[in-house]
Amino acid sequence: MNSIGHMDDLHDAVDWLCVQSSVLDRWGHRLAATLKSGGRLLAAGGSVDAAQYLTTELAGRFGGELSAMALHGDTSAMTAIGNDDGYEDVFARQVAAHGRPGDVVMLLSTSGRSPNLLQAARTARLIGATCWAMTGRAPNPLASIVDEALCVPAGSTTVREAHLVAVHVLCGAVENALLEHRHA
């Protein structure tokens, strides 16, 4: 694909995200309420840059008031679990260890087929956490087992780019919800 085609695809994906903005606003309000009440956000995905940006932004932007962690960030856990139990369980074991009922688990995947994310989603449901996903095209297995999914209808590269845009919008929605709460 040439650069014009890529930009056209990205434009279409951003237009699609604009139509889905109510989902991101709703997630932002729910996430703000969860985090303000002492819950946490656990994030993981093949799109590690988006997952880590999301958790870093939430934990850092708000003066350490909000608990958010990227599960791939603990390289010792990733290696130990992967070596001992298999990489299919690297995120699920951490969701089981760190997640609590009412927490939010965010999973990011371009394909929606990664076994380690599917296991994490199943574990999130078992512990009573809310589980959301950002994926590529639907239908896909991950979108079918989470509480709610945002499935970008695009190719892999554009999906990853759209996930970063969606993460920025989600962080803004969390910030807006927190400001609304302070002014209420």
Structure-token pair, residue 62: 């708000």
How close are the terminal C-alpha atoms of the chain, in Å?
50
Q: Tell me the longest C-alpha to C-alpha distance in the chain.
A: 50
Give 91-128 as a DSSP string.
HHHHHHHH--TT-EEEEEESSS--HHHHHHHHHHHHHT
Q: Over the stretch 20-41, which tens digit does the pLDDT of each residue have?
A: 999 999 999 999 999 999 999 9
> Pairing state of beta strands 104-109 and 40-45?
parallel
Maximum mean pLDDT: which of 35-49, 51-65, 73-87, 113-127: 113-127
Q: Please give the backbone phi and psi of residue 6, each rounded to the nearest 5 degrees, phi first.
A: -60, -45
d(CA 90, CA 73): 11
C-beta separation of 133 from 107 below 8 A: yes
Q: Over the stretch 133-172, which tens digit does the pLDDT of each residue have?
A: 999 999 999 999 999 999 999 999 999 999 999 999 999 9
Question: What class, spelled out in words, does domain 3-183 have in CATH?
Answer: alpha beta
For the chain, which residues make up each domain, given as ranges?
Answer: 3-183
pTM of the prediction? 0.94
Structure-token pair, residue 57: 């932004």
Partners of 108 in the beta sheet?
A: 45, 134
User: What pLDDT was estimated at residue 184?
Assistant: 65
Torsion angle (degrees, nearest 10) of CA 52, 164, 1, 136: 90
C-beta separation of 13 from 76 below 8 A: no
**CA-to-CA dists, residue 66 to 32, 107, 143, 164, angstroms:** 9, 18, 26, 20
Long-range CB pairs of 63-67 (<8 Å, 24+ gap) are: 65/35, 65/36, 66/35, 66/36, 66/41, 67/35, 67/38, 67/39, 67/40, 67/41
